[in-house]
Amino acid sequence: MGANLKEVRERIKSVISTQQITKAMKMVSAAKLRRAQDAIVKMRPYSNKLNEMLTHILANSDGEGSSTFGNAREVKRVLIVVVTSNRGLAGAFNTNIIKEARSLLKDKYPVQSATGLVHILPIGKKGFDAFRKQLKADQIIKDYVNLFSDLSFENVSQVPDLLMNFFETRKYDAIEVCYGRFKNAAMQYAEGEQFLPVPKVEVKQNKQKTRADYIFEPSQQELLKELVPSILQTQFYRYLLDTHASEHGARMTAMDKATENADEILRDLRISYNKARQEAITSEISEIVGGAAALGG
């Protein structure tokens, strides 16, 4: 009985120690989330408006004035950018993003995947670790795994610049990005978006079937040459800010749940401990009474 009590006491100490860690991690994630959430909330309206403007301009542009980044072609080679966190303990956050990337491989690009013509550019160690086991070494571009160590726009913009170069030089015919979209501290979504070619929106026509007429100053070609790369850089920056905020929201939620679970385990363990003590005391009293009765007999 004594051994059983000691075992329960040790388990209680272990759970209390774990709970202290989960509480601390929740507080750290909450502090980081406030900064990350502020950054994405400020960035998102600006990015969305720029992206809307880009898709509408490209939808109304054709011929020599159109941007090469909006021109779709036969997809032979594909690059998928997988944006995850560097650390775990964030619930299913990273797993869902990796699943989204794998579903693209399976559902959207099965032929290219089967022939080894889909490559992965992981940002974040979790995505790198997942695909390192699945793909060949030459199918993974691992130069930007640690990009989250510096989330300045200047540092991040080197990746979309590289992606645009890949597309222009026809190294890849389609580039997708899988990332974590932040909604609030408790809700994050794994999403996949086509980065290049820029998806074109359908131009809604009125009864006279006239299309939107933009006035370009300077020329359309010159404007698109400067405007499109800038918008794509901003769009890609949003992917990372979204994922960064999502990571801390997911970890804060996961640590909060872990702390609650520790409370339940402690409650059950303390009940078990009290029962074991009562049984031990009852057993000792029975032994004393039994011994006294034997002496009296």
| pLDDT for 176 | 97
pLDDT digits (tens, 9 = 90+) for 122-180: 999 999 999 998 899 999 999 999 999 999 999 999 999 999 999 999 999 999 999 99
Are 53 and 231 spatial neighbours (Cβ–Cβ below 8 Å)?
A: yes
> Which whole-number Å values give the CA distances from 17 to 89, 91, 252, 259, in the listed order?
17, 20, 18, 11
| pLDDT for 60 | 65
Give the Cα separation of 271 and 279 in Å (integer): 12
Domains and CATH numbers, the chain: 21-200+213-255 (3.40.1380.10)
| pLDDT for 286 | 80
| pLDDT for 208 | 47
Those residues with Cβ within 8 angstroms of residue 197's Cβ, 6 or more apart along the chain or in another chain: 69, 70, 71, 72, 73, 167, 174
Helix, strand and coil content of the chain, in percent to the nearest 5, comes to: 65, 10, 25
Rg, Å, the chain Cα set: 29
- 114 is written with which tokens? 């089967």
Amino acid symbol at 32: K
Are 148 and 244 spatial neighbours (Cβ–Cβ below 8 Å)?
A: yes
- 158 is written with which tokens? 């080197």
Give which of 235, 238, 297, 294 is closest to 52, Cα–Cα. Answer: 235
Crossing angle of the two packed helices 125-132 and 93-103, in degrees rounded to 10: 50
| pLDDT for 166 | 97
> Which whole-number Å values give the CA distances from 71 to 36, 55, 192, 197, 297, in the listed order?
34, 12, 20, 6, 104
Ranges of residues in the chain whose predicted pLDDT is under 50: 64-65, 205-210
Give the Cα separation of 223 and 221 in Å (integer): 5
